[in-house]
Amino acid sequence: MRRRSGRQTVAGWLFVTPFTILLVAFLLLPMAYAAKLSLYRSTLVEGEVFAWLGNYRQAFGDPEFRRGVVRVVVFGLVQTPVMIGLSLVFALLIDAGTSRLARFFRLAAFVPYAVPVVIGTLMWGFLYSPRTGLFSSVSDLDLLSSGTVLYSLGNVVTWQWAGYNMIVLYAALQGLPREVYESARIDGAGPLQIAVRIKTPMISAAIVLVTIFTIIGTLQFFTEPLILQPLDPGTITNSYTPNVYAYHQAFSYQQYNYSAAISFLLGAVVFIGSYIFLFVTRRRSALR
Amino acid sequence: MSVRHFSLKRRAVAVVAASALMAAGCGGSGDAGGEPDGPVKIKVWAWYPSFKPVVDLFNKTHTDVQIEWTNAGTGQDQYTKLQTALKAGKGAPDVVMIEFQEIPTFQLTKHLVDMGEYGANAAKGNYVDWAWKQVSNGGKVYAIPVDAGPMAMLYRKDIFDKYKLTVPKTWAEFKSQAQKLKAASPNSFMTDFGANDGGFMTGLLWQAGARPFNYTAAKSPDIGLSVNGAQAKSTMAYWEDMVGSGLADTTAFQTTDFYSGLTTGKYATYLAAGWGPGYLASVAKKTEGKWRAAPLPQWTAGANAQGDWGGSAFAVTDQAKHPKQATKVAMEIFGTSKDAWRIGIDQAFLFPTVTPILQWDYFQGKKYGFFGGQKVNEVFVPAYNGIGEFHWSPFNSYYFSQMTTAMNQAIEKKSSWPGALDTVQQNVSKYASQQGFKVAQ
């Protein structure tokens, strides 16, 4: 028996080898390289020197980086509840309805997710354009000005991802046992009460999951601002979000070391943000 | 952004052609050092439109050297790949297209070969002084100029006729004509000021006599910075006034809104560079025959101050195994060849830098249908010859991005434009010191 378990261990390792190799080659090694990069400083004149935590110190004191972090955190605080709320409402609606309309609606809400982010953002960029855009013919509000562009970006993100989150929640709803609804109905619960008191608590694990995805996604906000940057370069600067900042540091200014340090700090922010959320929701479920 | 964003279709064709070429020429040259047996293969990166026939022509007319051409992306895309390959120590081409304003950046990292050692100084006499100084430092030659972007004013003759505007010779007249246009047609603008284009803004400052940088490779790490000099400030104050009074628009260049403005006649003029006529013909096809070219308005009546917006050159990288042959390629791809330049002028709309071609009857006398048969080069060639010496910094992408950010913020917040130049000066000085330069204001 003991020999068999040894062989099992070897077999187990063999099974995870392909994954381990990919993990090490494409995640851990690049991360280690980036970590090393972030500890050096290269200047155009003097070349590369070891700087310990100099890049990190610089980033903490860098007002552009701090503004970017604050922006994505605030953006996430608004964006996440809106997005998850919408997705949940949609999921509950199509779960309650069984008609063909529900099927059509499910597809329609999901389609934006199938559109590549770049294409979707470009499309919204055309719609927002204050001169040739569709909205300009309806109202005078400039959707690409300093006061509005963050909302415009939020709209693009919601449009793109709400359908995806809806499908995840909908799948969770489909997995629930139908008998529960029946007993609830016998106890006199209406459709609204079933949705709020029965279905929503029962898929709380899925809700936590999509919320985590959304938090990580908003903190790493990158593609949408980068694509809309040419349309409103005064507001969407090269340091608009930490990710955009890291990108420009590396590929516009050749500051690979500083870029690596920023990326690691952003990673830390994402980690802390996700952890806080998981911690809060864990306590809640324990209380229940 | 770069100067040659214009024909997407053409770029797509070029990419396809490039991949076909790569597939065909995958062998590569294996021999290191010494005199090779067969023809030496030289890898070239460039994003000129219609470049394939130029490469074919070179390969047909040379037996000792053959070009393997790749389109590695336009502007910043290519520079990013190039920086990475140069840093990695392999994967860079032998000969690479670099815009004037980026040459000091690549020179500083010591990845450009001094082509002077391989006979490049022989070409010096073919170029006017300012163009040669863009690519060289004393006897050291870091690139061979190909095309340039002398600035001029392209204007809609139909609109000028309709509102009885006269072609302005000074910036003061430009403003008075703009007011006349605005009074007659409130939705029109005299021109568009593309604050998203560092090259455009710097070109206008260049004409005004502003010299933001005092830097040469020999002086490094000393650098003089005066982004907010008097000429620059007065130029920006002029444009702040033009925009503030509704005479000039601020739509970003190379956007749909901008193209539609050019097509619909919202803009009466387009302040353009030598590559502008071809660019305009491709983005505003419908307006064929309505445009004319005139010299850039002057700050002082009767003066001949000119500026440049864009322009590029061929450099040899330190990864070239055969720097002598690579230098030959850089010097002769376009060189003074009339056959190559015929393609460059007619299909790629390049504005040549090389004097024999500039003086060529075919180029000077070429009538452009898009400009109602006007010989537009009769405007651009004198503009080119009137351009003064100008230095770029070895951190141009940082400077351009600071310029575009600061100017766009000034436009959006309606704050002072000359004040925005002070911000740029501060940020660039700080950056330069951080990078180890000795900054003099």
With beta carbons under 8 A apart, name residues in chain A contacting B80: 251
CA distances from B401 to A45, A76, A252, B427 (A): 21, 27, 9, 11
Decide: A231 and A129 in contact? Cβ < 8 Å.
yes
Would you state the pLDDT for residue B220?
86
Percent of chain B with pLDDT over 90: 80
* Mean pLDDT for the stretch of residues B315-326: 96
pLDDT band at B76 (very low <50, low <70, confident <90, very high): confident
Which residue of A lies nearest to B104 if distances are taken between CA atoms? A44
Return the sign of the alpha-carbon dihedral for residues B250, B254, B256, B259: positive
Name the CATH architecture for the domain at A55-287: Orthogonal Bundle (1.10)
Q: Which residues does B contribute to its contact with A (CB < 8 Å)?
A: 76, 80, 83, 108-109, 195-196, 220-221, 251-252, 254-257, 260-261, 394-395, 397-398, 401, 404-405, 408-409, 411-413, 434-437
Contact assignment for A233 to B80 by CB distance below 8 Å: no
Parallel/antiparallel/unpaired status of strands B222-225 and B438-440: parallel
In this structure, of A225-234, B298-307, B342-351, the range with the lowest mean pLDDT score is A225-234
B33: pLDDT confidence band, cut at 50, 70 and 90? Answer: very low
Closest Cβ–Cβ partner in A43, A145, A232 for B435: A43
Distance of CA A138 to the CA centre of its chain: 31
Q: Could you tell me the strand order of the sheet in which B95-99 lies?
A: B65-70, B40-45, B95-99, B308-316, B144-150
pLDDT tier at B302, thresholds 50, 70, 90:
very high
Q: Measured between CB atoms, which of B252, B260, B401 is closest to A238?
A: B401
B8-149+310-364 carries CATH number 3.40.190.10? yes
| CA distances for A202 relative to A197, A232, A278, B123, B158, angstroms | 9, 44, 17, 79, 70
pLDDT, tens digit, 9 for 90 and up, residues B384-396: 999 999 999 999 9
Locate all alpha helices (DSSP H) within B254-322, ordered by sequence: 256-264, 276-283
Confidence check: pLDDT of B195 > 90 = yes
Q: What is the pLDDT of residues B200-249, one digit of tens each?
A: 999 999 999 999 999 998 888 999 999 999 999 999 999 999 999 999 99
Q: In chain A, which segments carry CATH 1.10.3720.10?
A: 55-287
The answer, yes or no, to whether residue B24 has pLDDT greater than 70, is: no
Q: What is the mean pLDDT of residues B112-117?
A: 96
DSSP H or E segment with residue B178: helix B171-184
Instruction: Classify the phi-psi angles of B427: left when phi > 0, otherwise alpha if psi is within -120 to 50, otherwise beta.
Output: alpha
- Contacts for A211 with CB less than 8 Å, ≥ 6 apart: A80, A84, A277
Structure-model confidence comparison of residues B430 and A43, the more confident one: B430
Gap from B30 CA to chain A (nearest CA, Å) = 30
pLDDT score, position A124: 93
**CB neighbour class for B282 (10 Å; exposed up to 12, middle 13-18, buried from 19):** middle
**DSSP track, A134-175:** TGGGT----TTSTTTHHHHHHHHHHHHHHHHHHHHHHHHHHT
Q: Are B147 and B352 in contact (CB under 8 A)?
A: yes
Question: For residue B6, which of B205, B273, B251 has the smallest C-alpha distance?
Answer: B273
Token pair 């980690």 in the structure block, residue: A271
Residue A3: the pLDDT is: 56
pLDDT along chain A (288 residues), means of 10: 69 91 93 92 81 90 91 93 94 83 85 92 89 77 84 93 93 91 90 90 91 91 91 85 92 86 91 88 55
The answer to whether the CB atoms of A233 and B397 lie below 8 A apart is no
Does A44 sit within 8 Å of B409, measured CB to CB? no
Q: Which of A129, A232, A251 sits opposite B80 (nearest CB)?
A: A251
Task: Point out which residues pair with B438 in neighbouring strands.
Answer: B222
The CA radius of gyration of chain A, in Å to the nearest whole number, is 24
Res. B165 pLDDT band, cuts 50 70 90: very high
- Write down the pLDDT at residue A92: 92
Say whether pLDDT at B3 is over 70: no
CA of B358: how far to CAs of B55, B123, B362, B391, in Å?
21, 15, 9, 23
Question: Binning pLDDT at 50, 70 and 90, where does residue B22 land?
Answer: very low
Phi then psi dihedrals of residue B219, to 5 deg? -80, -20
**Identity of the residue in A46, A230, A235 whose CB atom sits nearest the CB atom of B255:** A230
> Structure tokens of A154?
């939020």
Mean pLDDT, all residues of chain B: 90
Q: With 70 as the cut, is the pLDDT of residue B34 above it?
A: no
Name every residue in A having a CB less than 8 A away from some CB of B.
43-46, 126, 129, 131-132, 145-146, 230-235, 237-238, 248, 251-254
Binned at pLDDT 50, 70 and 90, residue B91 comes out as very high
- Are B8-149+310-364 and B151-308+384-440 the same fold in CATH? yes
Q: How far is C-alpha B337 from the geometric centre of its chain's CA atoms?
A: 21
Residues of B whose CB is below 8 A from A131: 251, 257, 260-261
**Structural domain spans, chain B:** 8-149+310-364, 151-308+384-440
B279-291 average pLDDT score? 92
Q: How far is B416 from chain A (nearest CA, A)?
A: 14
**Sign, CA torsion B115/B117/B123/B128:** positive
Mutate to test the interface with B, among A58, A122, A131, A149 (most CBs of B within 10 A): A131
For residue range B347-376, what is the model confidence (pLDDT) as tens digits?
Answer: 988 999 999 999 999 999 999 999 999 999
CATH number of B151-308+384-440: 3.40.190.10
Q: State how far the alpha carbon of A115 is from the alpha carbons of A156, A229, B403, in Å.
A: 12, 20, 34
CA B117 to chain centre: 27
In degrees, to the nearest 5, what angle opens at C-alpha A241 toward C-alphas A238 and A244?
50
Is the pLDDT at B32 greater than 50, yes or no? Answer: no
Task: Please give, rounded to a whole number of angstroms, the shortest distance from the CA of A151 to a CA of chain B.
Answer: 17
CA distance A46 to chain B (A): 7
Q: Which residues of B touch A251 (CB under 8 A)?
A: 76, 80
